[in-house]
A and B are shown apart, each in its own frame.
Chain A
Amino acid sequence: MRGAWVMRVSQALLHQDTFELMVEPAIADLQFEPSVTAYLAAWATVAGAWSHDLAGDARLVLDDIGMLGALIGIQASYYSGVLLLLVTGRNGKEAFQMIVRGDRPEIVIALTLIVVLSALPTLLCFWPPRRVREPLD
């Protein structure tokens, strides 16, 4: 069937409603009037639909930025606290002052890494965000 690859790739990449709204008509046109231009147009439509999905998903994630920040913060605080106490062997206040003074740059790097590693699983769990289509007026 013409456009089978476009269909497979776009079904894997896109949300179902985006596929039906944007890509399916382009594939129908490709099957109705096959040409190189039609193939290029179908792939361009997939790219446009993908950017539409990414922008929509990013907006939804940003709407929940407070909750995501809290989840990342909880993980990062736990691991950072353990690291600081184990590596520096001091109490929390002294460890914090040591970081502020910049005595141990390797610890700052490790803490940055902890924040990144805490953010990744949280973002992966929430991506793509659940979408609810708003009713039209």
Chain B
Amino acid sequence: MTDARLPTISGTESLILDLLEVRECFGLELVATSQGRLKRGSIYVMLGRMEVKGFVESRQEERAPGAIGLPRRLYRATAYGLKVRDAYQLLRDALALKPAEAR
């Protein structure tokens, strides 16, 4: 048996991966498209944790020379993140079966 810890994924992380699967997004776009399920005050903490886990990756936006302020960050789902999300979805579906249905 391996000692490696199994990756874990929360419902919110699955939602973020669903949104990022379609296209690369800014954090604010994720909040806007989530219809209130993601909050502006917690989205970057969540994305940061997901980046550490390897579920998403990010890059800084390309900006015109002389632009003021910090560059914003664009996020996209990784193949690994989508694989973990799908695996957990299968697990959830399997555990949701009633005993009679499992036969």
Question: A: which residues have CB within 8 A of B?
Answer: 1-3, 18, 21-29, 31-33, 37-38, 40-41, 43-45, 48-49, 52, 133, 136-137
Evaluate contact between A24 and B41: CB separation under 8 angstroms.
no
Interface residues on B, range: 20 to 34
Is B64 positioned at the interface, with any CB of A under 8 Å from its CB?
A: no
Is B51 positioned at the interface, with any CB of A under 8 Å from its CB?
A: yes
Q: Name B's interface SS.
A: mixed
Contact of A32 among B41, B52, B53, B69 (CB under 8 A): B69
Known contacts A21-B52, A22-B45, A29-B27, A41 near B70 by CB under 8 Å: no
Contact of A33 among B28, B41, B44 (CB under 8 A): B28
Choose among A25, A49, A137 the residue with the greatest number of B CB atoms under 10 Å from its CB: A25
Evaluate contact between B44 and A45: CB separation under 8 angstroms.
yes
**Interchain CA distance A18-B70 in the complex, whole Å:** 16
Q: Determine the residue in chain A with the shortest Cβ distance to B74.
A: A25
Q: How far is the CB of B61 from chain A (nearest CB, A)?
A: 9
User: Which residues in A have their C-beta under 8 angstroms from that of B58?
Assistant: 25
List 22 interface pairs A-B (beta carbons < 8 Å), by A numbering.
A21-B44, A21-B47, A22-B44, A24-B73, A25-B44, A25-B72, A25-B73, A28-B69, A28-B73, A29-B26, A29-B27, A29-B40, A31-B69, A32-B72, A33-B28, A37-B40, A45-B42, A45-B44, A48-B45, A49-B45, A49-B48, A137-B54
